[in-house]
Amino acid sequence: MILGRVIGQVWAARRDARLQRAKLLVVKPHAIYEPAFGTRHLVATDDVDAGVGDDVIVCLGAPARASAGGNDMPVDAAVLGVVDRFELNLEAMRAAGAGPGIKRALTVPAGAGATRK
């Protein structure tokens, strides 16, 4: 799973029949995951009625299909949770030699109720 922020929504009148009831969100990963094709975003189905600006947990692959309704769903990413708090242990990050990517990840979601210790 990865963390990201909802930046929009996609509407489509013509869509796969199995996706008729799916809400499709555009999610920008928190600079800590590179989606395929260098697109810097993902389109994910929504299980939890997330809105623009929410920080969310996105699940990839088969579990995303399972949550969207079954293994035959044409889906590879699903929003499974709205983050209300996360904690980063800076000492552990320093010890791990956390690079600039993680520092970016640290700063981006700070407005979302992140706590640091």
CB of 46 to other proteins, least distance (A): 10
Stretch binding other proteins (CB under 8 A), from 12-20, 36-44, 47-55: 47-55
Instruction: Check binding of 108 to other proteins (CB under 8 A).
Output: no
The footprint of other proteins on residues 61-80 (CB under 8 A) is 61-64, 66-67, 71, 78, 80
CB of 56 to other proteins, least distance (A): 8
Which of 19, 26, 43, 60 is the binder for other proteins (CB under 8 A)?
Answer: 60
Q: Give the long-range contacts of residues 42-49, CB within 8 A, separation 24 or more.
A: 42/4, 42/77, 43/10, 43/77, 44/77, 44/78, 44/79, 45/19, 45/75, 45/77, 45/78, 45/79, 46/22, 46/78, 46/79, 47/78, 47/79, 47/80, 48/79, 48/80, 48/81, 48/82, 49/23
The sign of the CA dihedral 51, 48, 29, 12 is negative
Instruction: Check binding of 3 to other proteins (CB under 8 A).
Output: yes
Contacts to other proteins by CB under 8 A: 1-3, 30, 32-33, 47-50, 57, 59-64, 66-67, 71, 78, 80-89, 91-93, 95-102, 105
